[in-house]
Each structure stands twice: as C-alpha cells, then as structure tokens.
A and B are shown apart, each in its own frame.
Chain A
C-alpha cells in the first residue's frame, strides 16, 4: 500500500520564481497537513485540511504561500514569488478518520531557493 507521495523530492529554483509542491495523501485519509522543517525553527505546521476544506492556515508565513486541495487525493503548496528564506524541507502528512491521531508523513520535498 503506497504511503504519502510527494513531488518533486528536490527543487532548486531562483529567487522570484514560482514553486509548486505536490502531495498525494493515503487513500481514505480525511486530514492533510503541510509542514515546513528547518534547523532553526524545527517542524512547523503551515496549514491543514479536513475533507478537502482548509481548517487552519494560521501557520502560513505570508501571502506568498497558498495551498489547495481540489479533491481527496491531491494537494498543492505554492510559493510565489519564492525567496531564499523559503529554503527548507516541506512535508505533507495525512491522517485517517476516527480517534487515531497518527499522522503519516511523506518523504518531503527539499526546496532550495538561490
């Protein structure tokens, strides 16, 4: 059974360019989370969805960041325009319905903005 799938695994771009990160959650999971991880700030929650609806985006750093979940099997995190300080590893995670609170993480996308 496939886990959470993220693409690309690595992205190198120049400042000012648009970056789109993609995530396919585990089938049947109704929660989807986007995180950013850096050495300085650790693992930060950016936004999460429940049944494709954004519930809390208070962790999104600024208007340059946006996330969508058009259907239960796909989500995107977009940065436009990108800046060097956006360099980080971005993780997507999904969680099954019910009382079990385990999150299943994807392998992450390592973003480098030059």
Chain B
C-alpha cells in the first residue's frame, strides 16, 4: 500500500467546512484512497473512498487531484461530533489484507 502523509492536527469552527488534506505521491494506478475516522474510545468508522473521480456521500466529499498524488476530505458543515482522528489510507481494491493505519489527523471542531 502506498504511503500517506497527513498533518497531525487541525482545528475547525463549528458549522464551517473542514478540509483535511492527504498526500499520497507514490499511489499506484489501481489503488483507491480510503478515509476512516476514529472518535475517541471507539472503533474506526468508514467515511468514503474513491479512485480518481470526486466522490460525495451523506458524510463527506472526497476530492482527488488529477495526478492522484493528493486528496482532500471535506466535511461541509462540521459539528462537535466530528471531532476525531481522521485516517487516509491508500490500497488496492479487493485485497483481503488488513488496513494499515498511519498517525492520521486529529480534527478538533471548536464551538
């Protein structure tokens, strides 16, 4: 799986958009970008994933650059409950191997 780089922490005001960046410059052509988050003392939660097109679901939007070397997770209207560690993971689909977690980004939503 390609290596990812994320800022260790970010703050965001409640109600504003939270934009979480991830660099994955060594991503391979068949690797997807996955985002998970972990609220304190809970198991990680799947958010979204994509290959090269931008993706949106009820939780977030994923913007992947044209060269696929970086991406941004967007929480359009952050709430206090979005405070969590956000993990960007790159891997090929269909793999039965485990997910490997980096250090992630601690997002703190401020009132």
Answer yes or no: are A and B bound together in one complex: no
Please list the residues of chain B having a beta carbon within 8 angstroms of any beta carbon in chain A.
none
